[in-house]
């Protein structure tokens, strides 16, 4: 996002002269047009106040003119400001950010038009004085930046919007990269390791007599199976394939099936959320259930996931000992970071003695 750009090259005399001439011509023409609109609006308003003469169509015309001309006036002010920004970009090398079209920004643009009208004719006189012409252009540039560009609040809002969009792009890119790594490991290293384990298994079955070689093959086969299991768990942790194919319901049910304690799962997400949000939701639940297994001493837990409009609501609870807090580098802190990465909301209730309830709201739109 382009907030402000300050040119590195100086304003030459030729540029300053062209800028002054273009500004004078544009300002005088724009002022004439706006003056015509004001006269028409004043005539229509005065006619309505003093009592319009003529038939009903003429009265309707006066009413429409009184209502529409201010809007047309504001639109012309905005378009004239667009031309002024173009003038600064082409002739001076200054790019002024475009503010949101509001009543306040239109008023600021009108203030600059008034400034430009005030100095239009005197500015052309400075063409004969190069040093003064360049000085005036620098003053005009600062004035234009102040009144034609966004104010500090709008600049901060634009920056926040840009940061939000860039963060969403980073989350999406990270999710895509995780999917690519998962596919590469599944189709490459995992298949090779599976083939190695099968060959070692066949060699193990073929050797019937005890020998050091047989013991080495048995040990290698066991190591290959262990490595294959660990690789499968790692690949599943990167991005479960079932999440892409069947959605959150199947993926969360798979987590519950592998848990060490009973997990009650209720998932009602229709329609599905974007893939990046589904991935964030999955890993939030996965990390939360891991924390439950490691620290809570719970006997039972539950995961409830529903979509309400454009929001995905997640509730994870357990009957453990409670007392969970967000510590730097801890599991709860990780959940908060994942939630915040997509502008979600996170809340934790975990009194001493339990129960612990985690509530997460993620945007799906």
Per DSSP bridges, beta strands 301-308 and 263-268 are parallel
pTM (two decimals): 0.52
According to the 3-state scheme, what is the secondary structure of 6-33? CCCCCCCHHHHHHHHHHHHHHHHHHHHH
The tens digit of pLDDT for each residue in 305-314 reads 999 988 999 9
Asked if pLDDT for residue 7 goes beyond 50, the answer is: no
Question: Cα(106)–Cα(363) distance, rounded to whole angstroms?
Answer: 34
DSSP 278-314: HHHHHHHHHHHHHHIIIII--S-EEEEEEEETTEEEE
For the chain, give every domain's residue range: 4-150, 167-238, 241-363
Average pLDDT over residues 116-135: 77
- The residue count for the chain: 365
Averaged pLDDT of the chain: 82
Asked if pLDDT for residue 59 goes beyond 90, the answer is: no
Omega of the bond leading into 315 within 30 degrees of 0 (cis): no
User: Whose CA is closest to 179, among 85, 52, 276?
Assistant: 276
Res 311: pLDDT = 92
The tens digit of pLDDT for each residue in 204-254 reads 887 777 778 777 888 888 888 887 777 776 666 556 767 777 888 988 998
The tens digit of pLDDT for each residue in 143-161 reads 888 888 887 777 777 777 7
Question: Cα(196)–Cα(310) distance, rounded to whole angstroms?
Answer: 48
Residue with tokens 């996931």: 305
Q: Percent of the chain at pLDDT above 70?
A: 88
Q: 241-363, which class in CATH?
A: alpha beta
Res 33: pLDDT = 93
């Amino acid at each position: 996002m382009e907030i402000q750009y300050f040119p590195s090259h100086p304003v030459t005399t030729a540029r300053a002269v062209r800028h002054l001439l273009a500004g004078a011509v544009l300002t005088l023409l724009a002022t004439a047009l706006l003056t015509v609109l004001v006269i028409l609006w004043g005539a229509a308003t005065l006619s309505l106040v003093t009592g319009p003469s003529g038939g009903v169509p003429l009265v309707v015309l006066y009413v429409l003119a009184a209502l529409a001309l201010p809007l047309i006036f504001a639109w012309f002010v905005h378009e004239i400001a667009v031309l002024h920004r173009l003038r600064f970009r082409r002739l001076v090398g200054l790019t002024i950010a475009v503010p949101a079209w509001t009543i306040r920004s239109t008023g600021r643009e009108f203030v600059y038009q008034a400034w430009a009208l005030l100095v239009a004719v005197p500015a052309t006189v400075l063409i004969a004085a190069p040093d003064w012409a360049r000085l005036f252009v620098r003053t005009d540039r600062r004035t234009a930046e102040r009144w034609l560009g966004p104010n500090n609040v709008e600049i901060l809002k634009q920056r926040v919007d840009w940061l939000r969009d860039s963060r969403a792009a980073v989350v999406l890119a990270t999710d895509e990269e995780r999917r690519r790594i998962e596919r590469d490991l599944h189709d490459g290293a995992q298949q090779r390791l599976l083939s190695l384990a099968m060959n070692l298994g066949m060699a193990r079955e073929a050797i019937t007599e005890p020998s050091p070689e047989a013991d080495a093959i048995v040990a290698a086969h066991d190591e290959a199976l262990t490595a294959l299991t660990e690789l499968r768990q790692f690949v599943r942790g990167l991005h479960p394939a079932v999440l892409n194919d069947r959605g959150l319901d199947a993926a969360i049910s798979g987590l519950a099936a592998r848990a060490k304690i009973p997990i009650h799962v209720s998932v009602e997400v229709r329609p599905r959320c974007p893939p990046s949000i589904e991935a964030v939701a999955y890993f939030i639940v996965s990390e939360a259930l891991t924390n439950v297994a490691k620290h809570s001493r719970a006997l039972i837990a539950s995961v409830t996931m529903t979509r309400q409009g454009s929001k995905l609501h997640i509730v994870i609870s357990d009957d453990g000992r409670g007392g969970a807090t967000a510590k730097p580098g801890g599991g709860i802190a990780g959940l908060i970071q994942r939630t915040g990465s997509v502008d979600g909301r996170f809340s934790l209730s975990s009194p001493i003695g339990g129960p612990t309830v985690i509530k997460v709201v993620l945007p799906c739109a």
